[in-house]
């Protein structure tokens, strides 16, 4: 009998300016939604682990918030989280959208990777499904010249599922040899409560004006299955900073809040496998992003 090939496993994270598609790529590689996505920058607040199982091994993707200049204590904590994650991973994928020229923000992030010498580095040009061939070629050349030490430069589209296998296999070759870190079938190590809170937050962010994205936190008071087991009650709070934001979330005669509940329920039900009764309560915690005590209570 020939010896079985050695499997590899390790940790990967994606970096880039806010909104370059890090969460979308994570979800596409994992094959189901573990990171919330939104057209608002700074959607991701936790280091969510998405787990990709391939014949050759396992990738554990740590999804970080976009690196940005912090304006609040929350912003500072998010940046600290990124620093901590980058220090621990085996490979860093640097993302640039094919549709936008490489700018100062990209150059700054690419240069900052010097601080993580042990991680292998892969440049990834995203959103190729909506870019012209010329744009893609130009972007690949721009990105390639940002650093001397890329282990690979890969164009792909997470939305159109193009080249995802190429990326996954390339990343696996960069991982240390060793057994899988999680059992097969596990797609994330996030708790159910955290995943539900993130789904509700994403539903609340959809379609709101720009002043809200950073100002929404979600806490879960209770998740309980009713005796007959076919319905799960979930009680959750949407926490905002100001009364004016509370009014925006609730909407005219509660219409917006009802829509948020419906959107969230549609995603929570397949996750937990029962019908859901979702009760959302909107409360105001003044300036919570700047208050260490409130940040702690809200899980940051």
Domain of 146: which CATH number?
3.40.50.300
Domain of 292: which CATH number?
3.30.300.20
Q: Is 176 annotated as a binding residue?
A: no
Q: Is 53 annotated as a binding residue?
A: no
Q: Does residue 279 lie within any of the structural domains?
A: yes
Looking at the structure, do residues 209 and 168 belong to the same domain, yes or no?
A: no
Q: Is 226 annotated as a binding residue?
A: no
Looking at the structure, do residues 20 and 100 belong to the same domain, yes or no?
A: yes
Q: Is 16 annotated as a binding residue?
A: yes
Looking at the structure, do residues 121 and 209 belong to the same domain, yes or no?
A: no
Q: Is 64 annotated as a binding residue?
A: yes
The domain of 259 spans: 192-298
Q: Give the integer Cα–Cα distance in Å for 157 and 34.
A: 18
Query: If you average pLDDT over every residue of the chain, what do you get?
Result: 81
- Per the CB < 8 A criterion, the answer to whether 143 and 127 are in contact is no
State the pLDDT confidence band at 3, using cuts at 50, 70 and 90.
very low
Q: Does residue 179 lie within any of the structural domains?
A: no
- Give the tokens for residue 250: 């609730």
Overall number of domains in the chain: 2
Q: Does residue 181 lie within any of the structural domains?
A: no
Q: Does residue 288 lie within any of the structural domains?
A: yes
Looking at the structure, do residues 77 and 222 belong to the same domain, yes or no?
A: no
Looking at the structure, do residues 151 and 55 belong to the same domain, yes or no?
A: yes
Q: Does residue 198 lie within any of the structural domains?
A: yes
**Mean pLDDT, range 233-248, rounded to an integer:** 87
Report the length, in residues, of the chain: 300
For 111-140, letters b (16+ CB in 10 Å) and e give: eebeebeebbbbbbbbbbeebeeebbebbb
Q: Give the integer Cα–Cα distance in Å for 290 and 100.
A: 33
Quick: pLDDT tens for 277-288. 999 989 888 766
Among residues 113, 146, 174, the one where a domain terminates is 174
Looking at the structure, do residues 20 and 158 belong to the same domain, yes or no?
A: yes
Report CA 266 to chain centroid distance, whole Å. Answer: 20
Q: Is 22 annotated as a binding residue?
A: yes
Q: Is 66 annotated as a binding residue?
A: yes
Among residues 119, 139, 174, the one where a domain terminates is 174
Q: Is 5 annotated as a binding residue?
A: no
The lowest-confidence range among 148-152, 178-182, 231-235 is 178-182
Looking at the structure, do residues 151 and 294 belong to the same domain, yes or no?
A: no
Q: Is 27 annotated as a binding residue?
A: no
- Per the CB < 8 A criterion, the answer to whether 9 and 58 are in contact is yes
Q: Is 233 annotated as a binding residue?
A: no
Looking at the structure, do residues 141 and 236 belong to the same domain, yes or no?
A: no
Q: Is 291 annotated as a binding residue?
A: no
Q: Is 41 annotated as a binding residue?
A: no
Quick: pLDDT tens for 156-206. 999 999 999 999 999 999 999 988 887 777 666 666 777 788 888 888 888
Q: Is 12 annotated as a binding residue?
A: no
């Amino acid at each position: 009998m020939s010896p079985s090939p050695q499997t590899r496993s390790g940790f990967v994270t994606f970096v880039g300016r806010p909104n370059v598609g890090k969460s979308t790529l994570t979800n596409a590689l994992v094959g189901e939604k573990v990171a919330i996505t939104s057209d608002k920058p700074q959607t991701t607040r936790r280091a969510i682990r998405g787990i990709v199982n391939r014949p050759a091994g396992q990738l554990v993707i740590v999804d970080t918030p976009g690196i940005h200049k912090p304006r609040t204590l929350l912003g500072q904590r998010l940046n600290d989280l990124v620093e901590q994650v980058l220090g621990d991973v085996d490979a860093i994928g640097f993302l640039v959208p094919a549709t936008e020229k490489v700018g100062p923000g990209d150059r700054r992030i690419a240069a900052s990777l010097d601080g993580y010498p042990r991680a292998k580095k892969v440049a990834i040009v995203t959103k190729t499904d909506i870019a012209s061939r010329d744009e893609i070629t130009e972007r690949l050349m721009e990105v390639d010249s940002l650093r001397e030490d890329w282990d690979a430069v890969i164009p792909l589209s997470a939305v159109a599922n193009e080249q995802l296998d190429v990326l996954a296999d390339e990343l696996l070759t960069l991982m240390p040899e060793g057994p899988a870190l999680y059992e097969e079938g596990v797609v994330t190590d996030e708790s159910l409560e955290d995943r539900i809170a993130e789904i509700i937050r994403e539903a609340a962010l959809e379609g709101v004006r720009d002043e809200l994205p950073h100002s929404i936190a979600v806490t879960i008071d209770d998740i309980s299955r009713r005796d007959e087991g076919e319905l799960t009650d979930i009680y959750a709070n949407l926490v905002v900073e100001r009364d004016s934001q509370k009014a925006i979330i609730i909407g005219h005669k509660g219409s917006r809040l009802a829509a948020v509940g419906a959107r969230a329920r549609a995603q929570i039900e397949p996750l937990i496998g029962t019908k859901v009764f979702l009760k959302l309560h909107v409360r105001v915690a003044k300036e919570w992003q700047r208050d260490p005590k409130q940040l702690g209570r809200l899980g940051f």
